Amino acid sequence: MKHLKLYNESYQEILKSFKNWLDILGFADSTLESLPNHLQEFFYYLENHNTNTINHISTQIIKDYYEYLKTRNNQARDGGLSKAYLNKHLQALFKFNDYLKEHHHKGIQIHLKREEQNQRDSLQILTQDQIKQLFKATDYSNSQQRICKRDTVILVLLYSCGLRRNEAINLEIKDILFDAARIYVRKGKNYKERFVPINQYNLKVIEQYIYDYRPLFKNYKDTEYLLINYRGTPLQGQSLSNRLTKIVQATQDKTIIEKQITPHILRHSIATHLLEKGANIETISQFLGHNSLESTQLYTHLLQDKAKLTNDEQLHNLLREKRLQQQNYPNIPKGYQSPRYMDE
């Protein structure tokens, strides 16, 4: 809920400090906006219930606030808040608790569980043919060639390299390691650094953009950022998302357009495609920069769902191999067709 004015100066200062802390940790622009907004609503609730200091926040107050969220109207559409949106509010509280502990405070007691939702149902994945259509569409996604070539680079970074939106816009030219065939992600989520492999074809795409088309942007020498806009300043996250929308529209494919593709959908897609081609879950986890294998395991579940829906025998066999590998049976030869007793 936006436009909630806080009168408590202490809450105002904490809110500013909280946002700066998130920025230092390297969170995406969207998170830098959403989490402080959710925390601001919590502070607004506290003010209106005569809780004027952090030390007076009790477990019961937090529970009452959460019950209030469950009953308040959604200002963007009819009905209440979705489970996903409620979880965002909870995420803000948990992250605020982390902030307090890092700033020598005992923290707050949050005895709440996240709302259960089937993440697999909401996860959109593009087929490899649809990905090819997107790349083809960059040939005519704009009347200016420099924009079209930059659009191609955007797809290379988001899909072929599996970068998050914030990671892509923060890349500098020096982060493209041509000799090593790697991209150095210096500002990943939570400021985690990693090296992402990139093939020679995609390196040539980026190289052509850097030497032949990036110089066509105004003031291009004033910044080392790889992706720049008309003014020669770094491309912002929303602008990158807008370009992706233009690429999608350029396909003129209703099926693709209806998917409402975001940068993260491209990231999900490359992870799923790698898994389909037999890449192991640990490699994909490192490739994506996940903190744990739990985040990456979601893609295994997606493939299981797909195998059941399509009755794809080859996919069934691939998944059986992976389950055996996860159970530490190291002597399975590559390409081994596991027996059908592993069927679910």
Q: For residue range 58-74, what is the model confidence (pLDDT) as tens digits?
A: 999 999 999 998 887 76
Residue range(s) occupied by CATH 1.10.150.130 in the chain? 9-117
- If pLDDT is split at 50, 70 and 90, which confidence band does 86 have? confident
CATH superfamily of 9-117: Tyrosine recombinase, N-terminal domain (1.10.150.130)
Query: Is the pLDDT assigned to residue 188 strictly greater than 50?
Result: yes
Average pLDDT over residues 45-70: 91
Which of 128, 122, 139 has its CA nearest to residue 264? Answer: 122
Lowest-confidence region among 112-116, 170-174, 198-202, 259-263 = 112-116
Which of 50, 44, 31 has its CA nearest to residue 91? Answer: 31
Cα–Cα dist 151/137, whole Å: 9
Average pLDDT over residues 231-248: 94
Q: What CATH architecture does domain 128-262 belong to?
A: Orthogonal Bundle (1.10)
Its pTM surpasses 0.75: no
Residue with the bigger pLDDT between 68 and 80: it is 68
Average pLDDT over residues 77-82: 63
Which residues are the active-site residues? 164, 189, 264, 267, 290, 299
Q: What is the pLDDT of residue 111?
A: 83
Give, in degrees to the nearest 5, the angle at Cα 293 between 32 and 89: 30
The pair of three-digit structure tokens given for residue 32, joined into one six-digit string: 């830098």
Residue range(s) occupied by CATH 1.10.443.10 in the chain? 128-262
From first CA to last CA, the distance across the chain in angstroms is 44
